[in-house]
């Protein structure tokens, strides 16, 4: 039986910004923040939250979708969200467009982020030429005309998501896509726009160990993006696995276990 509780969403609020998240799994477990892809939502994950509980993971699945917020940079997004996240220390998983957001949390708050797991992540700005052409086109339009881009993204969001290899995860993926566009597509256009601008931090600022999970047949964020990250990040390991951009769903159990791994003793204390 699937373990997702539909009513688990709550708002974590700072004085200025609400952050909608699902807080599931083991309440006393290792905190792991999950950041969804572009055109997705906190629901775009494996539908069985008992997997997180069995792994000893307290999973905090954070939405970026919803009413559009204008932000000047990826760093500003990270600063906003960090104020709303309760755990003092946590690991973070970022899938696709969630990948740069995971790196932003680690760079801005190295004393809080213990480990980073990127799954088929979008690249730094200089690597955007490696993305699928339709993604590049959407990003260019979003930067100069976000409302025009939003309309095109809303039309794209009505298409069925690609198959994940399992009917249960297909249904979760589709539910996450519907939730993503419930308030329209302007949030995504604004996000794509700030991902084309300087992020506000350097990859060298990410001190936490990073695992790079990549599908060998990923055509959205091609494996060469993962190889570039492995060369550029201070401590990164690339795992090329059979699969596509949807490897998140088929390897969810292993990805959670990777994020929740204890740090080696030399890295277990928070950086000063």
Question: Three-state DSSP class for 136?
Answer: helix
Mean of all residue pLDDT scores within the chain: 93
Each residue's pLDDT tens digit, 120-146: 999 999 999 999 999 999 999 999 999
CA neighbor of 34 nearest in space, from 123, 98, 120? 98
Q: Band of the pLDDT at 7, cuts 50, 70, 90?
A: very low
Query: Which whole-number Å values give the CA distances from 9 to 22, 136, 194, in the listed order?
Result: 4, 32, 26
Each residue's pLDDT tens digit, 57-115: 999 999 999 999 989 999 999 999 999 999 999 999 999 999 999 999 999 999 999 99
Round to whole Å and give the CA distance between 23 and 8.
7
pLDDT of res. 1 = 37
CA neighbor of 113 nearest in space, from 46, 222, 33? 33
Q: Band of the pLDDT at 267, cuts 50, 70, 90?
A: low
Contact present, 104 and 75 (Cβ < 8 Å): yes
Round to whole Å and give the CA distance between 106 and 207.
7
* Backbone phi and psi for residue 103, each to the nearest 5 degrees, phi listed first: -65, -35
Contact present, 91 and 260 (Cβ < 8 Å): yes
Contacts of 158 (CB under 8 A, 6+ apart): 181
Q: Band of the pLDDT at 195, cuts 50, 70, 90?
A: very high
Question: In terms of residues, how long is the chain?
Answer: 272
pLDDT of res. 168 = 97
Domains in the chain: ranges and CATH = 9-263 (3.40.50.1820)
CA neighbor of 37 nearest in space, from 144, 156, 201? 156
Each residue's pLDDT tens digit, 206-255: 999 999 999 999 999 999 999 999 999 999 999 999 999 999 999 999 99
């Amino acid at each position: 039986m699937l373990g997702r509780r539909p009513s688990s969403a709550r708002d974590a609020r700072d004085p200025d910004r609400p952050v909608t998240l699902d807080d599931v799994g083991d309440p006393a477990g290792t905190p792991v923040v999950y950041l969804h892809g572009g055109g997705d939502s906190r629901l775009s994950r494996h539908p069985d939250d008992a997997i997180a509980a069995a792994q000893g993971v307290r999973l905090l699945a954070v939405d970026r979708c919803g009413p559009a917020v204008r932000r000047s940079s990826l760093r500003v997004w990270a600063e906003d969200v960090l104020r709303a996240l309760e755990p003092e220390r946590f690991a973070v998983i970022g899938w696709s467009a969630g990948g740069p957001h995971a790196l932003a949390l680690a760079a801005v708050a190295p004393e809080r982020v213990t480990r980073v797991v990127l799954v088929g992540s979008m690249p730094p700005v200089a690597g955007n030429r490696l993305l699928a052409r339709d993604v590049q086109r959407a990003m260019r339009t979003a930067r100069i005309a976000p409302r025009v881009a939003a309309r095109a993204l809303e039309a794209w969001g009505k298409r069925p998501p690609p198959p994940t290899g399992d009917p249960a995860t297909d249904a979760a993926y589709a539910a996450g896509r519907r939730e993503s566009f419930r308030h329209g597509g302007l949030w995504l256009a604004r996000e794509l726009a700030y991902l084309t601008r300087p992020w506000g931090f350097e990859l060298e600022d990410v001190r936490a160990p990073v695992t790079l999970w990549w599908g060998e047949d990923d055509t959205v964020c091609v494996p060469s993006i993962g190889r570039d990250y492995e060369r550029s990040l201070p401590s990164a390991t690339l795992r090329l696995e059979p699969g596509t951009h949807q490897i998140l769903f088929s390897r969810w159990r292993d990805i959670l276990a990777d994020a929740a791994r204890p740090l080696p003793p030399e890295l277990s204390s928070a950086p000063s």
